[in-house]
């Protein structure tokens, strides 16, 4: 009896530990600063994460423990909010509501378990800092399956850029003047309205004090994909690529499309959906879509995100050579 117990004990002691049910601790260091970034060839003043706009892609696997150290080198307080993630309330990053603000010159460490998969993003939840550049993609993978090689992926983070101080943008919007419509050249003329037989509609709108064209209120200086208006990515004829598209803009809905091809939508806001094909998608602010594209042939094929009001676009070209 005792010998059997000792034997059982020895076997237990020698057997390898069972694989952990949960993954690794994934640690990131993010430094938030006020610095210049080059957008479309021009240096512009921004708020950056690790020196760039957008910040780095944070990548996790289901079951990981996220440990994210945020160092604030700015003169003002900041925060990071994990958009769409299920996290403990005190890690949600909404200052003065769930998490204390990260004061100037201090570090805060966010710590939460990764309990879901899919395409998400993170952004400052302090004042108007998100408009100034504090945002990035956050991607969570399924644990790898033996023998399954996932297709290539590209994260496409869309955003809108203004050279104005975001506080000035807010001030212009609050005064209800026509500064942005004039800049976008969609300011209606009273004579044009009379000519079109729409004088009463013109007066009605004037009375309501609404902006003349209400699709988008701000005139932006650029629309961006991964921080530039035009980027080039690899692509081979026949290759399938999974796009993780994120609308990280402040005030812009985007129509997204891929050359003359269809997008096969496989996930929305991080959740897998029954796949369907569509020529284009209108993405609201903060929405994410996963779309599979097939590069049709030789040459460069354009993924384009067009601002809903038609005032500009951002493009990612897949493949090289002649644009098809």
Q: Which residues bind Cu ion (CB under 5 A)?
A: 83
Token pair 């004579």 is found at 191
Min CB(98)–Cu ion separation in Å: 13
CB of 124 or CB of 257, closer to Cu ion: 124
Listed in order, strand segments (DSSP E) in the chain are 25-39, 42-49, 58-61, 65-72, 81-83, 107-113, 118-123, 135-141, 152-161, 222-225, 230-233, 240-247, 254-258, 263-268, 271-278, 280-283, 288-294, 301-307, 313-318
Q: Nearest 10 degrees: CA dihedral of 270, 274, 280, 281?
A: -40
Residue 12 is inside which H or E element, if any?
A: helix 2-14
Comparing CA positions, the residue from 255, 285, 288 lying closest to residue 269 is 288
CB of 83 or CB of 304, closer to Cu ion: 83
Min CB(291)–Cu ion separation in Å: 21
Min CB(93)–Cu ion separation in Å: 9
Query: Tokens representing 252?
Result: 């812009």
Residue closest to Cu ion, measured at CB: 83
Min CB(156)–Cu ion separation in Å: 18
| Order of strands, sheet of 288-294, starting from the edge strand that comes earlier in the sequence | 222-225, 152-161, 240-247, 288-294, 263-268, 271-278
CB of 83 or CB of 242, closer to Cu ion: 83
112 bridge partner residues: 66
39 bridge partner residues: 42
- d(C-alpha 121, C-alpha 94), whole Å: 15
CB of 269 or CB of 302, closer to Cu ion: 269
CB of 81 or CB of 184, closer to Cu ion: 81
CB of 60 or CB of 318, closer to Cu ion: 60
Min CB(287)–Cu ion separation in Å: 11
Q: Is the bond leading into 260 cis (omega within 30 degrees of zero)?
A: no
Comparing CA positions, the residue from 273, 303, 312 lying closest to residue 290 is 273
How many Cα atoms within 13 Å fall on the side-chain side of residue 137?
A: 25
CB of 158 or CB of 293, closer to Cu ion: 158
Min CB(20)–Cu ion separation in Å: 31
Min CB(243)–Cu ion separation in Å: 20
133 bridge partner residues: none
CB of 160 or CB of 264, closer to Cu ion: 160
Min CB(286)–Cu ion separation in Å: 5
């Amino acid at each position: 009896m005792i010998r059997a117990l000792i034997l059982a004990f020895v076997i237990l002691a020698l057997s390898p530990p069972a694989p952990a049910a949960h993954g690794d601790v994934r640690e990131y260091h993010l430094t938030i600063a006020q610095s210049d970034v080059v957008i479309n060839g021009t240096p512009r003043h921004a708020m950056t994460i690790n020196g760039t706009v957008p910040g780095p892609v944070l990548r996790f696997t289901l079951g990981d423990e996220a440990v994210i150290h945020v160092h604030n080198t700015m003169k003002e307080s900041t925060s990071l909010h994990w958009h769409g993630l299920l996290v403990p309330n005190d890690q949600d990053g909404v200052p003065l509501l769930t998490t204390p603000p990260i004061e100037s010159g201090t570090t805060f460490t966010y710590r939460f378990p990764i309990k879901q998969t899919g395409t998400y993003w993170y952004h400052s939840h302090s004042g108007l800092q998100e408009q100034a550049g504090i945002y990035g993609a956050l991607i969570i993978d399924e644990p790898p399956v033996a023998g399954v090689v996932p297709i290539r992926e590209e994260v496409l983070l869309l955003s809108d850029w203004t050279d104005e101080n975001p506080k000035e943008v807010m001030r212009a919007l609050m005064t209800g003047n026509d500064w942005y419509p004039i800049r976008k050249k969609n300011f209606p003329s009273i004579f044009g309205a009379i000519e079109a037989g729409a004088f009463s509609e013109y007066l009605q709108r004037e009375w309501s004090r609404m902006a003349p064209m209400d699709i988008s209120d701000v005139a932006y200086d650029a629309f961006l994909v991964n921080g530039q208006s035009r980027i080039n990515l690899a692509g081979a004829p026949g290759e399938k690529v999974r796009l993780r598209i994120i609308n990280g803009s402040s005030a812009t809905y985007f129509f997204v499309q891929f050359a003359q091809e269809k997008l096969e939508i496989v996930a929305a806001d991080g959740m897998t959906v029954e796949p369907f094909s569509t020529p284009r998608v209108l993405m609201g602010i903060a929405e994410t879509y996963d779309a599979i594209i097939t590069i049709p042939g030789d040459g460069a094929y354009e993924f384009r995100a067009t601002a809903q009001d038609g005032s500009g676009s951002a493009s990612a070209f897949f493949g090289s050579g002649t644009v098809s």
